[in-house]
A and B are shown apart, each in its own frame.
Chain A
Amino acid sequence: MTIRQPKPLILLGLILVFFVIQNYLDIKSGELVSLAYESGWLLLGSFIILALYGMRKKFPFLPIGKTSSWLQLHLGIGLLSGYLFLVHSGFAWPQGSFEVALYFIYLLLMGSGFIGWFIMRWLPKPMRADVENLHPSRIPFRRSEILEEADALVLKVEEGALSERIIMGYTEVIRPFLNARPGLLHSKRHNELEIPTPIVQKLALYLPPSVLFSTESSRPFHKLIREKSDLDRMIVHQRWIRGWLFLHVPLTAVLFILIALHIFLVLGFSSGGAS
């Protein structure tokens, strides 16, 4: 986990903005006026600034601050918008299906953002812990190489008392594992053998792995299973590192549509109201 302190200028700026907004809302509440309009427009402003981060990434050649500084600003404004959202909703649960949808999509968006940030700070280190010198783009090639190497190895298993069980274990457990694509979570590792525990358990039906991996001819299987399992872990980590964006980005678009609708409804049905 590598979390650094925010840049002092950005932190100071955000604290200042918070106090200015708070002061403005205090003045408005002192005038006994509903804060819904003021906080609503401020909230819309914060959403627009948050969305600008995505735009900034498209213009890496413009001298408008490093993208890493923009990300810090994005996170800070994200927190600020959370506060504004609570003020806007009057610190109350939503009512009506539209409000509920707006409320939960906002929560999902904010939650996915911060979880995504946490994932991006947490996972790179474990992702590289097992596979050090392989570019992610080469993983599919290496996986097919592993399968080919394993197929070649099994042909070399000499006939003997254990050969039938080894071949059974290979065709029923090892090969399907080497051929399978990883899911969203990686399996627990066996403490001693450092390969996925489910594989150890399945192999035990044919031959105890401690016996299987003890012979000269079958020891390379252990190395290949371990390497494949390490690659799977890397893929799983990568899926998480990138996957959260598949939630965060579409939700942003949906929220903007809902916000536009919300503004349209509020303004459309508010004639002669708030002032």
Chain B
Amino acid sequence: MRNETNNQEIDSREHCFSKVPVPEEILDWLKVNSVLSIVLSDYKKRGSSFEDILQNDARIVSYEKSEIILRKGDYGGSVLIPIEGTVRVNLEQSQEHRFARKSKLEKRSWFSAIGQLFKKKKTQETFSRVVSQEEISGSAGRKPRLNTDIDKFVSQNLTRRIGIGEIFGEIAALRRCPRTASVFAGTDCKLVEIRWQGVRDLLARSNEFERFLEDIIGDRRHQIFSFVNMIQNLSEDVQRTISSKAVFERHGSDDWNRNFRKVLNSDKSLLDQEAVVLNQGHHMDGLYVVLNGFARVTRKDGGQESTTGYLRPGDVYGLKELTRMDERGEDEVAFHTIRAVGALDLVIIPKSDFNEHVLPEIQKGIETGRSNEEGYISRELLDFFVDRRIVNGNQTMIIDLNRCTDCDDCVKACAVTHGGNPRFIREGHRHAELMVATACMHCADPVCLVGCPTGAIHREANTGNVIITTNECIGCGTCVESCPYNNIRSVEIHDAYGKPIIDLETGKPALKATKCDLCIDQPSGPACANACPHDALHRVDFSDISKVTRVIEKITG
């Protein structure tokens, strides 16, 4: 591939997909020399052609030696195929810290925080210094590197070379879970990056490719368990055994975030629109572990089905039924119905393997994860939270309308800490005396992260907060469109003199995505919650049902 691409300086990392066409010669090379050749062996010729799919959903990306290509734990919505150079995957857990994102947002000192009060308030998002075109395009902040001698790193640590034409990144792209390993450039290299929509299109047109990818995922899928509380403590051998026998299932729609409003406003009952995963009264065939997405737990009493709980990533369903089955030696049936809310990835650990490998560990006291199976909150409120996918939130802003006096102290506090531009709207979905404000919820399933071409929007490893690194953001608006809650905004940015910054490439005002950052750089944490004099504003983590209950009890009395 070297000869074909050497003369072309192609790097689309600061562009979205389909902006720069993939050269014909690269497409031809991929057809013959890469895993994509499998696709063509049984390509179903209906709709888009192979070339059309790649032109729409692929791009060429270049990395310099020692640059980090993927970080373990980051979210990503694409697969990569090396076409030139050396790409290596790190297999040493102890070296993962070298790949960790350097936190650019340090906490301000008290002195610096107080200084914010005396800054001139701007009506727009403003850069207080001269901004380069690189910064506008987002290319200034990228290029995270391994700060070590790469050759020495490779010789001293366990790494694996990913061959030219091989594929990687498929677990995160197709299962929408965090990246399971870190990958770096061993030499200067070029890769073809295909976003998940394109991969799904290819899968739909080639059974061979689907089988091939399933086999690869099967080999690596025990890594998925590293994010499930209940199973991560089991030995790797047990994890491998479980994963080899477990059934991976996917329910619901991948595009749930895009058609969310349509679903919400539709006349059809939401329950009817959600895919049933397990029916109440049906035989319990195993333990259901949610890998990604959300599930509604319902129970039918006297002919009426109502929501009694929800499941989030890492939650399990069926523990009660299976342990009872183990105690009584009789077959048990599911006590509830499970439905996929949006897209749901789950793994079913068969009953026999659960009894053999997992149950003894649970009995030893291993953490079993959260049990959200019981209905702690009123059913109407649960419906409200699940219907509107508010259970996705780790930091949902809930306002007690019986105590909120519309004083706007929360908005003012947000403005003070963000250069005069509040990052949330004190309006939103209401249920009785409770309102969910339009503020970033720092979701458990952050759909906004999937598709970001530069990785500017990311989840902080230590806090779990979803943060936008401004100088990596290219203002493409992918995250704005992806957020189903309208909690991210594209804003025009201005220079220190208040003039709009123009993107020389497009001739239009440069945009950046902004949203609530939980005042990550402030000494106090979220200023909004600190500022409310009436204790009406709460930040709620829906993964902790006891805290949710406490807040709801406080609000409803």
- A-B interaction: yes
Interface residues of A (CB under 8 A from B): 2, 4, 57-64, 66-68, 70-71, 120-121, 123-125, 128, 132-133, 135-136, 238, 241-242
Nearest A residue to B108 via CB reads A61
Give the size category of B's interface with A: 35 or more
Decide if A60 touches B405 in the complex (CB within 8 Å). Answer: no
Decide if B433 touches A58 in the complex (CB within 8 Å). Answer: no
Is B533 on the interface with A (CB-CB < 8 A)?
yes
Q: Which of B82-90, B212-220, B444-452, B517-525 sits within the interface?
A: B517-525
Residues of A within 8 Å of B113, CB to CB, are 59, 61-62
Of the candidates A61, A123, A133, the one whose C-beta lies within 8 Å of that of B116 is A61
| CB proximity of A7 to chain B, nearest CB, Å | 9
Residues of A within 8 Å of B402, CB to CB, are 2, 124-125, 128
Nearest A residue to B401 via CB reads A128
Residues of B within 8 Å of A125, CB to CB, are 401-402, 433
Q: A120-B405, A133-B430, A238-B406 are in contact. Are A60 and B533 (CB under 8 A)?
A: no
What is the bound-complex CA distance between A121 and B117, given in angstroms? 30
What is the bound-complex CA distance between A125 and B405, given in angstroms? 9
Q: A132-B430, A133-B430 are in contact. Are A60 and B406 (CB under 8 A)?
A: no
Decide if B427 touches A60 in the complex (CB within 8 Å). Answer: no
Residues of A within 8 Å of B532, CB to CB, are 66-68
Residues of B within 8 Å of A59, CB to CB, are 113-114, 117
8 contacts between A and B (CB under 8 A): A57-B533, A58-B117, A67-B533, A68-B533, A123-B405, A125-B402, A128-B401, A135-B427
What is the bound-complex CA distance between A4 and B401, given in angstroms? 15
What is the bound-complex CA distance between A132 and B432, given in angstroms? 9
Decide if B430 touches A136 in the complex (CB within 8 Å). Answer: no
Residues of B within 8 Å of A57, CB to CB, are 409, 531, 533
Residues of B within 8 Å of A58, CB to CB, are 117
| CB proximity of A21 to chain B, nearest CB, Å | 26
Decide if A62 touches B406 in the complex (CB within 8 Å). Answer: no
Is B557 on the interface with A (CB-CB < 8 A)?
yes
What is the bound-complex CA distance between A68 and B430, given in angstroms? 23
Decide if A62 touches B404 in the complex (CB within 8 Å). Answer: no
Is B529 on the interface with A (CB-CB < 8 A)?
yes
What is the bound-complex CA distance between A136 and B527, given in angstroms? 23
What is the bound-complex CA distance between A189 and B226, given in angstroms? 63
Of the candidates B404, B527, B534, B535, the one whose C-beta lies within 8 Å of that of A60 is B527
Q: Which of B74-104 contact A (CB under 8 A)?
A: none
Q: A2-B402, A67-B533, A71-B533 are in contact. Are A62 and B524 (CB under 8 A)?
A: yes
Residues of A within 8 Å of B535, CB to CB, are 4, 66, 68
Decide if B405 touches A124 in the complex (CB within 8 Å). Answer: yes
Decide if A63 touches B523 in the complex (CB within 8 Å). Answer: yes
Is B223 on the interface with A (CB-CB < 8 A)?
no
Residues of A within 8 Å of B407, CB to CB, are 241-242
Question: Sorted from nearest, which 9 A-B pairs have the closest CB atoms?
Answer: A60-B413, A60-B531, A68-B535, A60-B527, A61-B522, A63-B524, A67-B533, A71-B533, A61-B113
Decide if A60 touches B524 in the complex (CB within 8 Å). Answer: yes
Residues of B within 8 Å of A60, CB to CB, are 409, 412-413, 416-417, 524, 527-528, 530-531
Decide if B403 touches A61 in the complex (CB within 8 Å). Answer: no
What is the bound-complex CA distance between A67 and B405, given in angstroms? 14
Is B497 on the interface with A (CB-CB < 8 A)?
no
Q: Which of B381-427 contact A (CB under 8 A)?
A: 400-407, 409, 412-413, 416-417, 427
Q: Which of B527-556 contact A (CB under 8 A)?
A: 527-535, 554
Residues of B within 8 Å of A64, CB to CB, are 524
What is the bound-complex CA distance between A120 and B405, given in angstroms? 7
What is the bound-complex CA distance between A241 and B531, given in angstroms? 18
A sample of 5 more A-B contacts (CB under 8 A), given A62-B110, A71-B533, A125-B401, is: A60-B412, A66-B535, A67-B531, A71-B534, A135-B427
What is the bound-complex CA distance between A123 and B402, given in angstroms? 8
| CB proximity of B507 to chain A, nearest CB, Å | 35
What is the bound-complex CA distance between A238 and B404, given in angstroms? 11
| CB proximity of B297 to chain A, nearest CB, Å | 29
Decide if B534 touches A62 in the complex (CB within 8 Å). Answer: no
Residues of B within 8 Å of A63, CB to CB, are 523-525
What is the bound-complex CA distance between A269 and B524, given in angstroms? 47
Decide if B530 touches A67 in the complex (CB within 8 Å). Answer: yes
Residues of B within 8 Å of A132, CB to CB, are 430
Which residue, B114, B416, B524, has most C-beta atoms of chain A within 10 A?
Answer: B524
Q: A67-B533, A71-B533 are in contact. Are A61 and B519 (CB under 8 A)?
A: yes
Of the candidates B117, B427, B430, B557, the one whose C-beta lies within 8 Å of that of A2 is B557
What is the bound-complex CA distance between A195 and B427, given in angstroms? 28
| CB proximity of B433 to chain A, nearest CB, Å | 7
Decide if A241 touches B413 in the complex (CB within 8 Å). Answer: no
Nearest A residue to B557 via CB reads A2
| CB proximity of A36 to chain B, nearest CB, Å | 34
Residues of A within 8 Å of B430, CB to CB, are 132-133
Q: Which of B108-154 contact A (CB under 8 A)?
A: 108, 110, 113-114, 116-117
What is the bound-complex CA distance between A61 and B523, given in angstroms? 6
Which residue, B413, B416, B532, B533, has most C-beta atoms of chain A within 10 A?
Answer: B533
Residues of B within 8 Å of A123, CB to CB, are 405
What is the bound-complex CA distance between A49 and B522, given in angstroms? 25
What is the bound-complex CA distance between A58 and B527, given in angstroms? 11
Residues of A within 8 Å of B401, CB to CB, are 124-125, 128
| CB proximity of B532 to chain A, nearest CB, Å | 6
Decide if A124 touches B404 in the complex (CB within 8 Å). Answer: yes
| CB proximity of B121 to chain A, nearest CB, Å | 14
What is the bound-complex CA distance between A4 and B403, given in angstroms? 11
Decide if A68 touches B534 in the complex (CB within 8 Å). Answer: yes
Decide if A61 touches B406 in the complex (CB within 8 Å). Answer: no
What is the bound-complex CA distance between A238 and B408, given in angstroms? 13
Nearest B residue to A58 via CB reads B117
| CB proximity of B430 to chain A, nearest CB, Å | 7
Decide if A67 touches B523 in the complex (CB within 8 Å). Answer: no
| CB proximity of A85 to chain B, nearest CB, Å | 24
